[in-house]
Amino acid sequence: MARRKKLSDEQSSENTDNIHQESDDNFGLPEVEYEPLNRDTSTPKEEPAASTHTSYSSQQEETIEPEYVEPVSGHDEEVLDEDPAYAPVHTYEEDEPAPVWPKVLITLLILVVVGGGAYWYFGIERPRQQAAEAAAQAEADKRAADKRAADLAAAQAAQREEDERRRADSLANLAPKEGSVEALTDRTGRYYVVVASAIDDDLIMDYAQKLSKNGVVCRIIPPFGKTQFSRLAVDVKDTYADAQATADGMKGGDYGNEIWVVRY
């Protein structure tokens, strides 16, 4: 419809321009043909003007087109044709507010569950766990204390035994003994703790007799192998380890540090 209206406006503008152009040519006056006056004849009608008017009318009739009328939908026609008395009435019903008690009930239920869980954990379960942990720790501490006590008792017992042995050795050394001097002739395969050696057998014998007076059992080992020395032994053991331990214990005492072990 807007397009056809636009076309009609353009055509009207063109027609107006044509009219203005014709008016400019005639200086605003209608066209007149000058003829000699003839009283007998009537004044003819102005054909050119009529012609011009006819031409303009015909041109205008040709350019005018029927206006476009937008069709009315059937729904609109039905609405227009309806009787106002039977028009539908639209009513608005306000929704009722949802009840609050379900939310309150759910909230209370959540609080009860959370509170019950917290009470069960902090009031029952956690104290039980702490008690179990404390009992386990106490048991571990008790076992550790018992072990320490047993170790200490064993160490003390060993120390007492060592003290008793040393005391017995000291008493044995202090007690007067009946010494002796023995000159070995045959090899026994045992280990002897030697405290002196000399080429002169008389010197070894004199030293042995001196020691025997103090209760020392002396054994004179004759020269054997490649050695030409006689040796004076004050103790004998079945193993080299025992003999060496005895020799180490005697060092720094009455026999000095020149103490060694010889197998004979």
Closest of 264, 255, 188, 254 to residue 229, by C-alpha: 264
Strand, coil or helix: 58: helix
Burial 145-164 (b: 16+ CB within 10 A, else e): eeeeeeeeeeeeeeeeeeee
Question: Per DSSP, what are the bridge partners of residue 260?
Answer: 194
- Of the given ranges (41-45, 49-53, 121-125, 180-184), which has the lowest mean pLDDT? 49-53
- Of the given ranges (83-97, 150-164, 166-180, 234-248), which has the lowest mean pLDDT? 83-97
Among 91-95, 131-135, 213-217, 224-228, name the most confident range: 131-135
**CA angle, 142 then 143 then 147, to 5°:** 115
The domain over range 180-263 is classified in CATH as 2.40.50.1070: no
Examine the pLDDT at 6 and tell me if it is beyond 50: no
Q: Which two tokens stand for residue 96?
A: 């009722």
**CA angle, 27 then 30 then 33, to 5°:** 110
Q: Which two tokens stand for residue 26?
A: 């005639």
Side-chain-side CA neighbours of residue 28 (13 Å)? 0
What number is the average pLDDT over the span 59-87? 50
Examine the pLDDT at 181 and tell me if it is beyond 90: no
User: Mind listing the pLDDT tens digit for each residue in 95-126?
Assistant: 667 778 888 899 999 999 998 888 898 889 89
Angle between helix 47-63 and 2-25 (nearest 10): 160
Q: Using 50, 70 and 90 to split pLDDT, how confident is the model at 49?
A: very low
What's the rounded Cα separation, in Å, for the pair 58 and 51?
10
Chain centre distance of CA 132 = 29
What's the rounded Cα separation, in Å, for the pair 252 and 254?
7
What's the rounded Cα separation, in Å, for the pair 140 and 150?
15
What number is the average pLDDT over the span 182-188? 86
